[in-house]
């Protein structure tokens, strides 16, 4: 049988106080909707139908998933009306799983359990008991009025908070907005929905009573944790969910051996792979894919994105490493920072030292090379044991094209030098401080390119 997944993502998100559609607000570096789509894509669905509305063009151009299609809900007349828009795209001979685009942390295992509970012939609801159920639809069990709802019994219906009686509002089992239903029956129930309620909307939850009346079993499954089913309606809720998610990631990494100075001050917005004895100080952010070799130490307030850090390397505080699509590599035993910047294509060999306020871009530094202070290396090939002086730069851009600088082994570049690419410094060359080098420097020789120093006797400063 076919499996279709419907994701509701049409809402405006008024309480977010933002021009951005609610489902595009970011959690751990990805939009809320992309989190849901990535989970959905692991379930083997024949079709994923995402319902858009507010900011539909922006939403549809911002997310992706296999077998993804979009339908639009214009205007937004309730959850039932939303699913009605998707109904023509659903296979009759299968199961439809309904998820919410603003509930980003639903686990694949929970979604699979919901599908299995449906079993092609039941209406399966994802429910949970909350200490404060305010705002949620209440699950009614026992008699149709829900008077014995907390005393067990079969599910008889769901009543939205605004339509619930004072007795029904005392129920603490709530509907999370996610369900699985036999698709043929779902289409029939959707066609029978009305908007006779406090909000004048077509409620998807009304199909529960229809299922009961039609003799279709209604069952409830439950998530492993509350965090899975929490939605985002405000900046405060988004921040709370971010911390919950980051704490979960931190706990998982620490169980595998990572040492975090403070798991409450750790942010992972991608994939982090750690070997043994890795230590990470506070306020570090990891994006894209980052690998840390054995014994790596990351100082406080660092940002690493798309980088591979080899065993024993130390990244000192306030260092920014961003590999973008090219990546960054830091060799074994290297030291980077503090306040250093590694840009795409930076490839540091073993025991390389990159110091404070040094920037490296699209450059390879061989074993033992050092640039310890206030320097720039762009589009350069640097040999072993080079000492690159403070304030020195490679002038790699002529206004139209980039050019490469080649620095041989054991070269010493003095302070405040400009290497005008394309240029080659031979092995063992020494470049005098303050030189502007625009021609190749011979191996083993001192090269100096600066004006002769003069002193003018009798000269006085101008006076006011």
* Radius of gyration over every alpha carbon of the chain, rounded to an integer in angstroms: 31
The length of the chain is 464
Find out whether 330 and 312 touch, Cβ atoms under 8 Å: no
Structure tokens at 207: 């199909």
186 vs 166: CA distance, rounded Å: 30
**Count of CB atoms within 10 A of residue 223's CB?**
22
Fold of the 235-447 domain? UDP N-Acetylglucosamine Acyltransferase; domain 1 (2.160.10)
- Tell me the per-residue pLDDT of 350-397, one tens digit each, with 9 for 90 and over: 999 999 999 999 999 999 999 999 999 999 999 999 999 999 999 999
CB neighbour class for 100 (10 Å; exposed up to 12, middle 13-18, buried from 19)? buried
Burial of 77 (C-beta count, 10 Å sphere; 0-12/13-18/19+): middle
Query: Per-residue pLDDT averaged across 80-106, rounded?
Result: 96
**349: exposed, middle or buried (Cβ count in 10 Å: 0-12, 13-18, 19+):** buried
Find how far residue 243's CA is from the centre of its chain.
13
Q: Which of 361, 330, 356 is nearest to 344 (CA)?
A: 361
Query: How many Å apart are CA 152 and CA 161, to the nearest integer?
Result: 20
DSSP label of 158:
E
Nearest to 376 by CA among 343, 400, 347, 403: 343
pTM above 0.85, yes or no: yes
Asked if residues 276 and 259 have their Cβ atoms less than 8 Å apart, the reply is no
Is pLDDT of 57 > 80? yes
How many whole angstroms separate alpha carbon 200 and alpha carbon 193? 12
Name the residues annotated as catalytic: 373
pLDDT (tens digit, 9 = 90+) per residue, 58-76? 999 999 999 999 999 999 9
**Tens digits of residue pLDDT in 122-179:** 999 999 999 888 888 899 997 544 444 444 578 988 988 888 999 999 999 999 999 9
What is the domain partition of the chain in residue ranges? 2-229, 235-447
Q: Of 3.60.15.10, 3.40.50.1980, 3.90.550.10, 3.40.50.410, which CATH number belongs to 2-229? A: 3.90.550.10
417 close to 398: Cβ distance less than 8 angstroms? no
- List residues bridging with 447 in a β-sheet: 431
């Amino acid at each position: 049988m076919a499996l279709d997944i419907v994701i509701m993502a049409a809402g405006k998100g008024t309480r977010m106080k933002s021009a951005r559609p609610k489902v595009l607000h970011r959690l751990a570096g990805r939009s809320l909707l992309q989190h849901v789509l990535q989970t959905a894509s692991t379930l083997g669905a024949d079709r994923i139908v995402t319902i858009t509305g507010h900011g539909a063009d922006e939403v549809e151009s911002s997310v992706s998933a296999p077998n993804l299609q979009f339908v639009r809900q214009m205007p937004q007349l309730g959850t039932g009306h939303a699913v009605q828009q998707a109904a023509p795209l659903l296979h009759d001979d299968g199961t439809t799983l309904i998820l919410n685009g603003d509930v980003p942390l639903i686990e694949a295992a929970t979604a699979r359990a919901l599908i299995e509970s449906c079993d092609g012939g039941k209406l399966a609801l994802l429910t949970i008991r909350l200490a404060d159920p305010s705002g949620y639809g209440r699950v009614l069990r026992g008699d149709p009025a829900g008077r014995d709802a907390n005393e067990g019994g079969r599910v008889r219906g769901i009543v939205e908070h605004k339509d619930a009686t004072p007795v029904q509002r005392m129920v603490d089992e709530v509907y999370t907005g996610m369900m699985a239903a036999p698709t043929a029956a779902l289409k029939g129930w959707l066609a029978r929905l009305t908007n006779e309620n406090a909000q004048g909307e077509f409620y998807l939850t009304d199909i529960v009573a229809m299922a009961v009346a039609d003799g279709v079993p209604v069952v409830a499954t439950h998530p492993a944790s509350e965090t899975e089913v929490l939605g985002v309606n405000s900046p405060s809720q988004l921040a709370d969910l971010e911390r919950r998610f980051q704490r979960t990631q931190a706990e998982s990494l620490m169980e595998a051996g990572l040492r975090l100075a403070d798991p409450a001050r750790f942010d992972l917005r991608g994939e982090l792979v750690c070997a043994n004895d890795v230590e990470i100080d506070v306020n570090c952010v990891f994006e894209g894919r980052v690998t840390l070799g054995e014994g790596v130490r990351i100082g406080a307030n660092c940002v690493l994105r798309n980088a591979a850090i080899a065993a024993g390397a130390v990244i000192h505080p306030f260092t920014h490493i961003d590999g973008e699509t090219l990546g960054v590599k830091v060799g074994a035993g290297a030291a980077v920072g503090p306040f250093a910047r590694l840009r795409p294509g930076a490839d540091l060999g073993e025991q390389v030292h990159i110091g404070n306020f040094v920037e490296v871009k699209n450059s390879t530094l061989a074993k033992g090379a050092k640039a310890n202070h206030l320097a720039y290396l762009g589009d350069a090939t640097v040999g072993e044991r080079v000492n690159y002086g403070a304030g020195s730069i490679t002038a790699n851009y002529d206004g139209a094209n980039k050019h490469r600088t080649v620095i041989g082994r054991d070269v010493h570049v003095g302070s405040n030098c400009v290497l005008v690419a394309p240029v080659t410094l031979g092995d063992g060359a020494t470049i005098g401080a303050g030189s502007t080098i625009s021609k190749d420097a011979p191996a083993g020789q001192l090269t100096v390119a600066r004006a002769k120093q003069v002193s003018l006797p009798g000269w006085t400063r101008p006076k006011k």
